Structure 1
Amino acid sequence: MRYWVVYVAGAKAQVNYSIGKQKGIWGLKKITSQSQINNMQVGDQIIFVQQLKWQSINGDVPKGFPKFLKDPQQFKGIVSEIVIGEITKGYYQDSSIVWQDNEYRHRFNFKIKEQVTNVLFNMEEFGSELIEATLKSIKSGGDACFVGNNKIINFTKLDDFGLDIDPNEFKDFSVNEGYVKFIENHKYLERNRKIVKLKKQKVLTSQKCLKCEICGFDFADFYGEELGQGFAECHHINPLSESGNVKTKLSDLIIICANCHKMIHRRKPWLSPQELKDIVENQKSKIRSV
């Protein structure tokens, strides 16, 4: 399967992008002699990457970010939206009115298959081919650039890349949790999934993996990246059932595998993460000594 990418940036481009999504048409004002858009075929996959923003957690913004970056490794951050579509009509020229500011006569048609907002976008997540092609699309003014023939994204897992909140809030982000609510006479402790997602995102950004902080198990290592990448559970260091209505910070959560999570909750009172970690280390020592 063949993949293409278009980078969308700027207020005018985003207005036209919304119109293009509604009508299933994308157009360019002009193309250069290096453009490959005329090689588009029906059935090819098109990826729209909208507005890359730098994450403060990665340090100072690189000079020339994002358009004039020389190192593709620095082309990373959060994109406002990724849309994946399928080409329904390859390259053609048409001057009929679709957008108000220009005719954008170099066109192709597509249908949307998947879309997600606030996506962590870097070489580790999406691979060098897509990152380099997206950077090329920026430098060419939004031309459709050929990515390659490899599968870029598992559509069924695209939502795993999405964030509900701004990752620039890593340091100060907190949410209220633990207050009691009743649904059909059943008692529940209110939890907030946003902070769990952001905790995983922070660890992935800094460590490139989600290893259990108790036993070191990594789902991606064991099951392979296609199935295990980005999967883990989170555990509240201070149980909500005991702490009540509290403001939960990222530092109040740990990354944990399903087995260790079950073991922590097996006893009452629950084991602390350090207590379970000591048990695991003790068992490992016994196994090594055999």
Structure 2
Amino acid sequence: MRTRIGFASFEAYAAHAPGLSANVMLQARGTFGAQVSRVRGCGLLAVAAKTTLAHTARALTPAREVFAFCDAGPRSLVLNGVAYPHGTILWIPGGIEIHYRDPGEVRAWSLSFAREDFTTAVHALLGQEMTAAGDPMLLSPEPGILRGIMTALQLVMDGTTELRPPLVGAVLQGIVSSLPSGRPPEPTAVRRRNLAAGLVALADTSEGQPLALADICRALGVSLRTLNTSAQDVLGMNASRYLRRRRLHAVHRALREGLAASVTQAATEHGFFELGRFAADYRDVFGELPSATLHAWQTGWS
């Protein structure tokens, strides 16, 4: 389900925002405006909101695990006294009261997952039980992780692609990978080979479709760190890079054989949502842009 709503008054915006109490105050003068987009599906609720004027508010978070971040800009949002500038993620526990300050002209994102889904993903990817945060916790993900999450969600918000389980799994994986974790014992050489073989076998059965690393970890009974160590030793790259390379080859085959009407269709159907990075990686592997591959097939049949 996808919705996008615009507001011309602060009162209408405050009344619409779920969880906001009456303690909402504007902190600047001027003409108020707001745009709120929501996407719900596959256990994920994603919200993107941007207002024109600074304001403060109090809210009760839902009984879900919530993760908030914002677009690039000189000003940061502040929640319970914790500023989360662009490039960071704020983990907000469910069912607590929060106080936040929005400086205006900053698009704020929030993602929320059912607690059981998040707990399962943490156990599968980190090999440990989730320790629930009692207060908001600031996370510092790798830049590419947050950029990929925002790009994928924007494509969903725009209606370019649909919210499907592989995309939600990739978003959840990015969030979980930003959590602090312990270092599990190193596997033996034999076990590493077996785990790498298991990864390859799962990729073989996927027929180029995206695979969630959480599902692979569950199927093989290991943490993401152990899987990556094994893949790096045996395949020369971590699990995510290996799966990405396999999907690049699947896209190349689809374009070369005319199985897709456009580059965008071929890319998104195989789990590539950051199209600029996809095109660069494709050229690195195949020596040409994906559009050239498609054009060659179209020319051959014209």
TM-score of the two chains, using structure 1 as the length reference? 0.28
TM-score of the two chains, using structure 2 as the length reference? 0.28
Q: Indicate the structure with greater strand content.
A: 1
Q: Indicate the structure with greater helix content.
A: 2
